[in-house]
Each structure stands twice: as structure tokens, then as C-alpha cells.
Amino acid sequence: MPHSEPFVFNTERRLVVLTGQKARNLPELLAILKRISESSIFYHSHEEYFLSRQFARHEFYNDFSLWISEALQEEPLAEKLAAIDLLSFSSIRQIRERMVAEIAAFLESTGGRARECPAGDEFHFCRAKSFVVPTGIVARDLPDFLNRLPSVSDTSLYFHFFEARLRLGRITNDFSFWLSGIGQEALADEIDRLNPYAMTLDELRRRIIQLGLKRLGD
Amino acid sequence: MAIRLQDYEQIVGREEIAELSAFADRVRNKRLQNINSTAVGGGVAEILTRLVPLLGELGIEATWDVIKGDQAFFNITKTFHNALHGHPEEITREMLDHFQANTEANLKSLDLNGDVIVVHDPQPAGLIRKKKEIGRRWIWRCHIDVSSPNPEVWNFLRPMVDQYDASVFSMPDFARDLAVPQYMVPPSIDPLSDKNKPLSQSTVQEVLDKYELDSTRPILTQISRFDRLKDPLGVIAAYRLVKMNYDCQLLLAGGGAPDDPEGEVVLREVQEAAAGDPDIHVCLLPPFSDLEINALVRGSTVVMQKSIKEGFGLTVSEALWKKKPVVGGRVGGIKLQILNGVTGFLVHSPEGAARRTMQLLANPGLCRTMGENGHQHVKQNFLLTRHLKDYLFLMLSLDHPDEDIVQFYEN
């Protein structure tokens, strides 16, 4: 049965937690990657995407790829890690397993040869401590949702789309989850199939609005 | 007239201020006591001067105390500072004893009344021994790079640090493998302070005239204390290379600080290196020169921060805020502020600094783009309002030590 609960837009603020763990080469990165918290893996696989929304800064959108490219200059591996489709995983555990497998295979292919990064360029493992609060923006129904989406901040959008699915372990993004609940299963499914890693947050917002308007027009 | 929290609305927007207030509501009943070693001079004192009253406006009883010490104590802590930065220094038993005795003396005179006590840097770190007696929540806020310290000083300091409830570093590179939680809080600049507020072109010109700088020719500027770690001699070397191609001037300006007795020696070295070139201006600025520093940066063409080691190097954000491209050493917090090729250039040597400076002098359009990018980058990441919020988050974190996601939401 469809419900009539409103959608409450939340946003997230964060304090970066430093783990004190650092890697100077791939074997060290691999060893830490195997044991570090899921929270740290999420942070490093998503943070650069989030920060880069302002400037077109880098070719690679995860911290591991960036570091492997810039500090170790192992481009083939950097490219492989950057190409991992995060959307195809439903848990951080799977992302970890895939990254570990890629790095291990690369090390095997090089016969264990591992470059050291220059001093001062070590990879420092971090994670985020997040504080989640309501934005005060609430949508009653689909038209209201689409009206309010333009005024929702990038951080809020990011929280409901990326964090909710992987970090909070929900089955889909928050928008799709809510839309399914109000009887908009088809739209929910279309939004769920968007690849947010292939676009900026602004494009993602526009795309959701387009899909919603199209659905309302049908 | 005192600056009010509301005054920041025009810069960061109303929502940001409302959000600060909403988070402050959750920690409003706690007293926050800051303790450091100097009331004037240096980044820590500058930040506390701003943060403490604004925290008060948010309804948090925030205070700031300064430990006392004789000249010998500050000479020792300066040696510790250099040693923690990895500089070879001779550490004697007598120095460690004097440090401990000074801590004892301060414990007798200080009223430790905060619910949360934030101790800044190594000088007052020993105050933690009072925790056994009075309890409370203690945070060690380390502003300097302790990533590759002299082991003798670090082994002396480490047992103190391990007793805190949390530690705070300015960037990941500074963190150590500690037993206590470590948080990252980059420092910040105040966009409304005399050092950063907007100035009229005529004010800028007056100050340039006062320092006999010619605004019709490029001005390269480094604002920093006269400290070897800021590499002022390297800046002069870079300037000499640029000068072969561009008729430019160099300004090396900075103040002294009571806890930096080495400054005079370095200043003399710089003056000797600059002797004979009328286009090199070496200025030891008196305290309260912030307005002039503001004008000097605004009048500059390219700003340099060619440090060899750096705590954070807030002078970089101060220059970026004024839309100046910055050429800086690839060390410490400079790496967070200069997005290489976006807000300025990161360099390793005087030669690199000279090459990038010439690239900027040849491209006024590049200077403008980088200046705009720098302003936006600072607005997002290094303004005082973000710093205020981090303080609130630190206080909240002490209440939620084991949660990755602290939920105050309704869904």
C-alpha cells in the first residue's frame, strides 16, 4: 500500500577522523586496505568525487587511484581502480574485495616489484564522522519534491544518493525508496538506474527533475 | 566595533549561520577552555582571538588562558618546535626538567574550569597531568607537523598526548599512530579581520608608497616570520632568477613573536643576502600591522610561501582569499590550500618557484583565473565559520566517540 509520508531532506556535515595508518607503497596499501574500517574505504572511494564538484581537478575520482597515479606513477593500476563501477556493488565489503583483488593481481603481474612514493607523499587513511541533520526542506508529494529539489544543497543530494545506499546500507538511494512508497515505483526504478558517478551533482539533480517531470506528464 | 556572528552572513550566507546555531544548541551547556602559550603573534593566537568571542555568541561559554614562562622556557619550546619538525637539535635533561617545572608552576596558577579543555601545541601539553585529579574532557590540539619528529622530544611528549581524550591535527600528514582518536581540523582565516577585509585601492596604494614599492612593476611577496623553515633565502634566490627576465620587486615582510627568539638571527641573514639590491624590501613589521599586511598582499602580483616545513601556512589562504595566485612549497598544509595548477603552484626548489612565478607574470589571465579559484576554495574550506563548526563537532564527538554517523534527523 502506498503511504503518504513526506520526504524530509537531510544534510550531512563531517569531521575527518585520522586513522594514523599510512602507506608508502602498494604492498603497504594492500595490507591496510584489507583491515581498515569500511568507513575509511567509503571515504576514500567517494571523497574526491564530492570535493571535485567545484573544480574539474582530476582525471580520477577516488583517492586510491589518484595516489597510485600521482605518488607511485603506476598508471595502469590507477586506471583499473578508477574504472571500478561503484554502482554495481551493494556493499562496501564488495568494493574492498574488488580493490584488494585488483591490487593483488597487479603486484603479482609485476613480480612483487613495488615503487616507493616520495617522502611526504604517503597515502594517509582517513574516515569521516558524520553529523546528519534535517535541512528544514520537506516534500509532501512528487510535484512538491520536484519543486524543492533545485533548492536542496549538493551535500544533501550527496547524502541521500551516495551515503544512504552504501554507508547506511539501504537497498537503494533515499529518493527511490520514498518514491516507491508513494506509488511511483517506475520513477523510483529509473532514478535507481542513474549512474551518479558519471555526472556532477548538479547534473544528477537535473536528471532526476527531468525524469520526474516526464513521469508527471505521462 | 566588535565583529558579530551575523556579520559573516554577507560572506557565507544566512543558512550557514543558522546551521552553526543549530549545532551549537546541542552543546550549549558546556564550558570550553582553550590554553596556549602566547596571547599575540602566530596563527594560534590569531585564531583564538576570533573563535572565542564567536563561540560565546553561539551560547558556549568559551575562555582562553595563556601559560606563563621565562625566556629559558620559550627557548626550550622553540628548540622542541624545531625538533618536532625533524630538525636536529640537542635535547638535554636540564631542558626537559625546566619544561616540567614550568608546567608545575602553571598548574598552580591556572584555573582549569572548562568542561572541555583544549590545549594547543606542545608548550602547555603537560597540563594533562591534572586530568587524574579533576577529570573533564581534554583535547590536544596540535598545530604543527609532528610526522617525523626527533624521537627524544616525541618520546617525552607522547605519554602526555596519550592521556588526552582526543587529539586534533591540521591535516592527515601530521597524524601519528596514537592510542587516542585523532581528528582533522584545518585552521582558518577571518574574512572580516583587518588582515583580510576588503580595502580601497587608495589604501593599498598608500601602503605601497609607504614601503617604497612601485605599483607599476610586478611585486613578489612572502609574508612570514623570519624563520629558516620559511626559507626566506630560497625566496631571494628565486627572485634573482625571475629578475633576469622580469623587472620585478621582492617584498619579504613579517612580524616577530615572543616565543620565537631565533627570529632576529634569521632577519640579519636575510638583510645581508638582500644588501645592495634596492628592489628587495625586507620589512620587520611591528605588532598590529595587519591592515598593512592586507594592503601589501592586495598590492602584490604573485604571493610566495616557499616553506621547507610548515604547520599549515595560513598566509596562503590569506593571499588566495585576496585572489592572488600563490607559489608555495609542497609541504604541510600548503598542499591542501594550493590545488596545484588550480589555485597556484606547488614547488620543491627556488628554481621551480622562479619558473612558476615567471609563468604567472607572463599570463595575467592565468593569475586572474587562479585568483578566483583560490577565493572560492578558501570560501568553501578555510574560513572561520567552518572552523567554528568544527569546534562544535569536536565537542559533539566527545559525546559520541564510537559512532561513525551521528544522526539528528527524522527519517
Summarize pLDDT for A136-156 with one digit per residue, the tens: 899 999 999 999 999 998 889
Which ipTM did the prediction report? 0.86
Query: Are B171 and B212 found together in one domain?
Result: no
Furthest CA-CA distance within chain B = 70
Q: How far is B385 from B190, CA to CA, in rounded Å?
A: 8
Contact B342 A57 (CB under 8 A): yes
Query: Are B145 and B265 found together in one domain?
Result: no
CA-atom Rg of chain A in angstroms:
19
Does A138 reach chain B within 8 Å, measured CB to CB? no
Helix (H) / strand (E) containing B375: helix B364-381
What is the number of alpha carbons within 13 Å of residue B236 lying toward its C-beta? 22
Which A residues 63-122 touch B at CB under 8 Å? 120, 122
Q: How far is B356 from B350, CA to CA, in rounded Å?
A: 10
Whether the predicted pLDDT of A170 surpasses 70: yes
Please name the amino acid found at residue B295: A
Please name the amino acid found at residue B228: R
Neighbour-count burial of B131, counting CB atoms closer than 10 A to its CB (0-12 exposed, 13-18 middle, 19+ buried): middle
Report the chain A residue with the minimal C-alpha distance to residue B333. A120
- pLDDT for A54: 62
Give the range among A23-37, A91-105, A156-170, B226-240 with minimum mean pLDDT: A156-170
In 10 A of CB B127, how many CB atoms?
Answer: 21
Residue A188 region, left (φ>0) first, then alpha (ψ -120 to 50), else beta? alpha
Cα–Cα nearest to A55, from B338, B385, B172: B338
SS3 label, residue B306: coil
Does B373 reach chain A within 8 Å, measured CB to CB? yes
Beta pairing partners, B138: B117
Report the chain B residue with the minimal C-alpha distance to residue A178. B411
Report the chain A residue with the minimal C-alpha distance to residue B380. A54
Contact A167 B177 (CB under 8 A): no
Per CB-CB distance under 8 Å, the chain A contacts of B176 are 20
- Spell out, as residue ranges, where chain B has pLDDT lower than 70: 1, 256-260, 409-411
Give domain limits for chain A.
Answer: 7-12+130-217, 15-126
Per CB-CB distance under 8 Å, the chain A contacts of B184 are 15-18, 126
CA angle at residue B240 from B239 to B242, to 5 degrees? Answer: 60
Query: Are B241 and B282 found together in one domain?
Result: yes
Report CA torsion sign: B362, B363, B366, B367. Answer: positive
**Strand duo B137-142 + B116-120: pairing:** parallel
Per CB-CB distance under 8 Å, the chain B contacts of A120 are 173, 330-331
DSSP string, chain A: ----PPEEEEEEEEEEEEEEEEESSHHHHHHHHHHS-HHHHHHHHHHHHHHTTSS---S--SHHHHHHHHTS--HHHHHHHHT--GGG-SSHHHHHHHHHHHHHHHHHHTTT--PPPPTT--EEEEEEEEEEEEEEEEE-SHHHHHHHGGGS-HHHHHIIIIIIIIIS--SS-HHHHHHHHTT-HHHHHHHHT--GGGS-HHHHHHHHHHHHHHHHH-
Contact B178 A129 (CB under 8 A): no
CA distance A109 to chain B (A): 31
In a domain, B216, yes or no: yes
- pLDDT for B411: 45
Q: Which domain holds residue B173?
A: 5-188+384-399
Report the chain A residue with the minimal C-alpha distance to residue B176. A20
- pLDDT for A133: 86
Query: Are B253 and B314 found together in one domain?
Result: yes
Query: Are B364 and B238 found together in one domain?
Result: yes
SS3 label, residue B128: helix
Q: Which three cell numbers stand for residue B367?
A: 593569475
The CATH number for B376's domain is 3.40.50.2000
- pLDDT for B337: 94
Q: Mark B284-307 as b/e (b = at least 16 C-beta within 10 Å).
A: bbeeebbebbbbbbbbbbbbbbbb
- pLDDT for B330: 87
- pLDDT for A32: 98
Query: Are B170 and B265 found together in one domain?
Result: no
Query: Are B20 and B115 found together in one domain?
Result: yes
In a domain, B282, yes or no: yes
Contact A55 B342 (CB under 8 A): yes
Report the chain B residue with the minimal C-alpha distance to residue A39. B404
Contact B19 A133 (CB under 8 A): yes
Query: Are B169 and B211 found together in one domain?
Result: no
SS3 label, residue B51: helix
In a domain, B103, yes or no: yes
Per CB-CB distance under 8 Å, the chain B contacts of A39 are 404
Q: Which three cell numbers stand for residue B263?
A: 627570529
Query: Are B90 and B165 found together in one domain?
Result: yes
Query: Are B249 and B147 found together in one domain?
Result: no
B325 in Cβ contact with B372 (< 8 Å)? no
What percent of chain A is predicted at pLDDT more than 90?
Answer: 61
Per CB-CB distance under 8 Å, the chain A contacts of B172 are 16, 18, 124, 126
Which residue out of B396, B404, B407, B410 would a mutagenesis test of the A interface target, given it has the greatest number of A Cβ atoms within 10 Å?
B404
In a domain, B52, yes or no: yes
Query: Are B106 and B138 found together in one domain?
Result: yes
Tens-digit pLDDT profile for residues B37-50: 988 877 788 889 98
Cα–Cα nearest to B197, from B266, B268, B276, B290: B290
In this complex, which of A20, A131, A132 lies closest to B177 when CB atoms are compared?
A20
- pLDDT for A56: 56
Q: Which three cell numbers stand for residue A74?
A: 603506476
Query: Are B324 and B369 found together in one domain?
Result: yes
Whether the predicted pLDDT of A131 surpasses 50: yes
Which residue out of B331, B347, B409, B410 would a mutagenesis test of the A interface target, given it has the greatest number of A Cβ atoms within 10 Å?
B409
In a domain, B86, yes or no: yes
Total domains, chain B: 2
